[in-house]
Amino acid sequence: MTRMTFAEATRRALAEEMRRDPLVWALGEDLVQGGIFGQYKGLAEEFGPERIVSTPISESTIMGAGLGAALCGTRPVIEMRIADFTLCAMDELVSQIAKVRYMFGGQGRAALVVRMPQGMWRNSAAQHSQCLEAWLTHIPGLVVAAPGTPADAAGLLKAAIRSDDPVVLMEPKNLWTAEGEVPEEVAPIPFGVARRAAEGDAVTVVTWSAMVPVVEQGARESGIGCDVFDLRSLWPWDEAAVLASVRRTGRLLVVHEAVTVSGFGAEVVARVLEAVGPSGLRAAERLGAPRAPVPFSPPLEEAIRITPARVAEAIRRIAAT
């Protein structure tokens, strides 16, 4: 095991995949310079400008070029810089990439990865801080992954690159510099398999992405025995593990950075309720952001941020029911 940052882990994983498969390449703004978070640093020197491609500032062009290249047999890694900018390329992603395999009866495939760093990051304000994960899990044809540790970021990136389906990788901006233990040889992590971060019998806590370290700390501070799951991928998601836990604890808390209203947490709660019934679920709660733009002001941003203290409070409240 080696301790490294989120950015370093994904950079190493991408380099290993590019060495393994000459059809893998990356395109996006400023990649030759290393990318906005340094996750491409040094790759241009090893692989050259034909495989690490800095593009014009045109998200629809980047996304469309990636689709065309995938249909021609390569495996593009499309860098969107931040998730908010993907809105300029939503037609290419939602109406073309997600549907091309179905609409052409499997004759063409969009075997590509779209990297979308999302969420809050040092007061980036309303147009640079959004979490769009719920939009994308709603789209048939897309795999959606949301890593919360450096090791999982590397493993999910490898799995995404090798997938024959288009994969959206929602990477947490606030964790790019966070460190964690990463195996010397990272294996692809299968989609739909959650990581159990803690074990307990009182409350089942489900989370992903930037909330993983927040929830882990909050669960410890609560003093309550929690079964904590890091979903790692949102579609598919590990229903079996969560349902088995809820059937034991009878209580569920879902925590996400995204706006609570219509967030993916609602899908988790609804599915659990359908599966275990109201008699098997003593309490269920979602903890997420208010339905408000993310403020630029540091104190206002902090006021809507999910903190370990808020997680601990929610766990204690649910455990008392």
Read off the tokens for 187.
């294996």
Task: State the Cα–Cα distance between residues 305 and 307, nearest whole angstrom.
Answer: 6
Angstrom CA distances, 264 to 157, 259, 267, 320, stand at 21, 9, 5, 25
Nearest to 143 by CA among 129, 130, 156: 156
Read off the tokens for 270.
């609804």
Residue type, 44: A
Residues with Cβ within 8 Å of 177's Cβ and at least 6 positions away in sequence, in order, are 5, 6, 7
In the chain, where does DSSP find H-type helix?
6-20, 43-47, 59-71, 90, 100-103, 133-137, 150-162, 211-222, 239-249, 264-276, 298-304, 308-319
Active site residues: 128
